[in-house]
Amino acid sequence: MKKRKIKQSRRKFFAKTITAAAGAIGGIGLTAHSCKSKSEEHEKVTLLSQDGKLVQVDKAAITPASPAEARKGIPGKHFVMVVDLSRCRNARKCIKACDHHHQLTPDRPYIKVLRMQDNPASSPYWMPKKCFHCDNPPCVKVCPVGATFKRTDGLVLIDNHRCIGCRFCMAACPYSARVFNWGKPKPQKTNHPYSPETSIPSQIGTVEKCDFCPDMLRQNKVPHCISACPNGALYFGDQNSDSVTNGSETVRLSTLLRDKAGYRYLEELGTQPNVYYLPPANRLFPFKDAPEGQSS
């Protein structure tokens, strides 16, 4: 009888312990949720869908992928960008949208708009430049800790929790697309844990770059720079479906590149970039020099 009572008392003890632990865990979750203000719980974010429609979603519902999920990529996709140089007039809205979304400081933008001139007889033009998300990325090959990696959907990302700040990737990148966090990053405003798909919160002493906004892509939305461009100069889409959009129009990627003589910058290097350019022919705007300090 005593042994049976001892067994029963042990069962009750463990049952009470498990119940208490579950209650504690539930209490933690409830406390974390209750710490949010009413404005945070119902804050809306306006996003642009790939069919060109503006939609509103709860900010709290946007949860980043875990580091393990972020390394895999979105199945069946191969993302590309097309930049129409005839439409760019250095409005810099893409830079502002990118800086705001990634909470960047002005000294380390992911996007640069360069003043270009092919020869003395031709007119200058503006060229937006960011990470090219190469299919043969030299940055990935030189990273000693696997912090920068290539995904199945064409994106090249950086895991700042792995980055040791050696800057080998910056030396290997022929496009100078990466920036280094020398100083203290801007105070981060996020309720979510870090993910390579959001690039926030930033880490001092690590490398960062344009990431094609994979957190947006998981919601079937275009990157922020695409929707911010007032002239439709930036197209984004899936190479596998042969379609790209600039927010106002959706076109076939193959037709756009063929009819407008699309090319890839420094393609002779063999990096196989996933960013294409359309020549600055029949420009929508006459060239104007940017105010001092606004041309990257």
Percent of the chain with pLDDT over 70: 74
Over 50: is that where the pLDDT of 134 sits? yes
pLDDT score recorded for residue 55: 58
pLDDT at position 1 over 60: no
pTM: 0.75
Which of 28-32, 81-85, 117-121, 152-156 has the lowest average pLDDT? 28-32
Mean of all residue pLDDT scores within the chain: 81
Q: What is the DSSP letter of 205?
A: T
Is pLDDT of 255 > 50? yes
Each domain of the chain, given as residue ranges in start order, spans 2-35, 60-278
105-109, 184-188, 277-281, range with the lowest pLDDT: 184-188
At 7-31, the pLDDT tens digits run 444 444 334 433 333 333 233 232 2
178-224: per-residue pLDDT in tens?
A: 999 998 777 766 667 788 898 888 889 999 999 999 999 999 999 99
Instruction: Tell me the C-alpha distance between 272 and 257, whole Å.
Output: 15
Per DSSP, the residues of 184-215 read PPPPP--SS---TTT--S--TT-EEE----HH
- 27: which strand partners? none
Indicate the class that CATH gives domain 60-278. Answer: alpha beta
